[in-house]
């Protein structure tokens, strides 16, 4: 196993507490069993169980992404807290390209991986995209390039950041997990702040909050900083390349993928050929099909206002919109302002978030828009089919989390697609 001894040095403690036992917790446990059979492993799942385990003696706590840091604060020294991503990066950061951001990280990470692999590099796509980082350790060797999608939860406790890092944007998100928006932003910022000399940090110059955080922390960066923007993308060769990705924001994502892959020797012609063959990800402005003359799009990944706004602006003739879901307390005024000025004719407001969005619309705008309040997606899809004119589009882009009614955004999008496709029956 490549660099096995370094992993053993990090994990080979007398007693390790696994705080959280989801996908990453089980992955860490499996690696401990293989590499460190003499280490005592305490599995603690659920906040009460985790806090009880910290009352006993231990040498290391491996925190899972779903466990808020507040559960551990004051109950153990910070120096004893690590995470799967921290462990992985302490050993393999030099082999890793990390991608994060409130939105766009899955598409951008997958695109970078696709470009590199189509051009002959040995790559592995892992991390927040669904494959625990420690699961890929047996596949790694000295030639492997890891493309890691990294969430705020995976970044907040790292001591070493990837050699190449991309931070796409910062918007209000996960305010149910963090003390405030700044806390969330700084968790994301670790992808650049924990880099070393010789590393590369790419960040969007279009995002005001991100630009502000970079400026405030400039003295703490050791890596080479490279801003990118939509304007740069639109004047670059990437703008003329055939692409399956829709929207200006995706042009920006493709542009930063070009900057990153150029570090690995990929020229314009090879990049263009690979970009043209890229398959867009499910639930991201995904074309479901045309039924009864109405074209339906599934953008269930949208959990913030900026994502919904971008989708409406990017897709053709959006006449009907489905928004709302679980309310995590983010600011919906920008979305309300956008909808009030838009040409969207019909809106289905879903859940508590939908109710709050509607309350922020000026009364004259809400009266002008044909709308319903509903939580049943079967009812919602039937209503959309009735009110949307032939030749127009209906878009699911909720700008809210799904946890009030669904396991995750994937389930929400899948059910929406099934309901839409049933319209032809």
**294-298 and 286-291 strand pairing:** antiparallel
Residue 425 confidence (pLDDT) above 60:
no
Q: Looking at residue 182, what is its pLDDT? A: 96
123, 155 in Cβ contact below 8 A? no
Q: Give 336-377 pLDDT, tens digit per residue.
A: 999 999 999 999 999 999 999 999 999 999 999 999 999 999
24, 130 in Cβ contact below 8 A? no
Q: Looking at residue 178, what is its pLDDT? A: 87
> Which residue's entry shows tokens 């990090």?
10
Dihedral angle sign, alpha carbons of residues 304, 307, 194, 140: positive
Residue 175 confidence (pLDDT) above 80:
no
Enter the pTM of the model. 0.92
CA distance 202 to 224: 8
Domains of the chain, earliest start first? 4-76 (3.40.50), 86-276 (3.40.1190.10), 286-424 (3.90.190.20)
CA distance 320 to 394: 5
CB under 8 Å to 269, separation ≥6 — which residues?
Answer: none
Q: Looking at residue 174, what is its pLDDT? A: 77
324, 298 in Cβ contact below 8 A? no
Burial code (b: 16+ CB inside 10 Å, e: under 16) for 130-161 equals: ebbbbbbbeebeeebbbbbbbbbbbbbbbebb
CB under 8 Å to 226, separation ≥6 — which residues?
Answer: 200, 201, 202, 203, 259
61: β partners: 17, 81
Lowest-confidence segment of 173-177, 232-236, 259-263 by average pLDDT:
173-177
Dihedral angle sign, alpha carbons of residues 357, 358, 360, 364: positive
Q: Which two tokens stand for residue 340?
A: 């009030």
Dihedrals phi, psi of 64, to nearest 5 degrees:
-80, 155
Reference 17, options 76, 65, 73; nearest CA is 76
Residue 385 confidence (pLDDT) above 60:
yes
Q: Looking at residue 177, what is its pLDDT? A: 80
Q: Give 114-154 pLDDT, tens digit per residue.
A: 999 999 999 999 999 989 999 999 999 999 999 999 999 99
E strands of 140-218, at which residues? 145-149, 164-167, 200-204
Collapsed DSSP state (helix, strand, coil) of residue 422: helix
E strands of 314-365, at which residues? 318-324, 346-350
Q: Give 399-410 pLDDT, tens digit per residue.
A: 999 999 999 999
Model confidence at 239, pLDDT cuts 50, 70, 90, reads: very high
Q: Give 40-90 pLDDT, tens digit per residue.
A: 999 999 899 999 999 889 999 999 998 988 899 889 898 999 999 999 999
CB under 8 Å to 81, separation ≥6 — which residues?
Answer: 61, 63, 69, 72, 157
224: β partners: 200
Reference 269, options 250, 244, 298, 241; nearest CA is 241
Mean pLDDT, all residues of the chain: 96
230, 168 in Cβ contact below 8 A? no
Q: Looking at residue 424, what is its pLDDT? A: 73
285, 296 in Cβ contact below 8 A? no
Q: Give 317-335 pLDDT, tens digit per residue.
A: 999 999 999 999 999 999 9
Residue 159 confidence (pLDDT) above 60:
yes
Collapsed DSSP state (helix, strand, coil) of residue 33: helix
CA distance 372 to 350: 9
Quote the percentage of the chain above a pLDDT of 90: 94
Q: Looking at residue 136, what is its pLDDT? A: 97
Average pLDDT over residues 411-420: 98
> Which residue's entry shows tokens 């692409």?
243
Model confidence at 17, pLDDT cuts 50, 70, 90, reads: very high
CA distance 216 to 393: 43
């Amino acid at each position: 196993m490549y660099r096995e001894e370094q992993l053993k040095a990090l994990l080979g403690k007398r007693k390790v507490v696994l705080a959280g036992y989801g996908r990453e917790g089980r992955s860490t446990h499996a690696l401990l069993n293989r590499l460190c059979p003499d280490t005592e492993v305490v599995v603690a799942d659920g906040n009460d169980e985790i806090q009880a385990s910290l009352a006993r003696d231990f040498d290391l706590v491996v925190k899972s992404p779903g466990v808020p840091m507040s559960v551990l604060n004051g109950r153990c020294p910070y120096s004893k807290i690590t995470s799967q991503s921290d462990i992985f990066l302490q050993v393999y950061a030099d082999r890793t390209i990390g991608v994060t951001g409130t939105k766009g990280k899955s598409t951008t990470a997958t695109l970078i991986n696709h470009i590199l692999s189509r051009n002959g590099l040995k790559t592995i796509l892992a991390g927040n995209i669904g494959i625990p980082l420690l699961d890929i350790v047996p596949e790694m060797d000295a030639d492997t390039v890891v493309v890691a999608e990294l969430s705020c939860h995976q970044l907040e406790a790292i001591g070493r950041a990837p050699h190449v890092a991309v931070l796409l944007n910062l918007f209000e998100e996960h305010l149910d997990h963090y003390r405030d928006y700044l806390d969330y932003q700084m968790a994301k910022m670790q992808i650049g702040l924990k880099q070393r000399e010789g590393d590369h940090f790419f960040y969007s110059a279009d995002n005001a909050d991100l630009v502000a955080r970079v400026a405030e922390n400039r003295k703490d960066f050791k890596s080479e900083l490279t801003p990118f923007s939509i304007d740069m993308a639109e004047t670059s060769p990437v703008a003329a390349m055939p692409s399956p990705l829709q929207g200006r924001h995706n042009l920006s994502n493709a542009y930063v993928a070009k900057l990153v892959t150029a570090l690995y020797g990929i020229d314009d012609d090879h990049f263009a050929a690979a970009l043209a063959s890229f398959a867009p990800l499910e639930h991201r402005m995904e074309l479901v099909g045309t039924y009864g003359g109405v074209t339906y799009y599934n953008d269930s990944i949208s959990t913030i206002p900026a994502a919904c706004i971008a989708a409406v602006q990017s897709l053709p003739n959006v006449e009907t919109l489905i928004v709302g879901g679980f309310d995590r307390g983010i600011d919906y005024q920008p979305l309300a302002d956008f909808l009030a000025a838009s040409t969207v004719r019909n809106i289905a407001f879903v859940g508590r978030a939908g109710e709050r969005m509607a309350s922020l619309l000026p009364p004259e705008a809400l009266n002008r828009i044909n709308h319903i309040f509903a939580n049943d997606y079967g009812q919602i899809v039937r209503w959309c089919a009735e009110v949307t004119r032939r030749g127009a589009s209906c878009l699911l882009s909720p700008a809210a989390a799904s946890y009030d009614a669904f396991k995750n955004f994937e389930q929400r999008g899948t059910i929406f697609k099934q309901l839409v496709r049933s319209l032809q029956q």
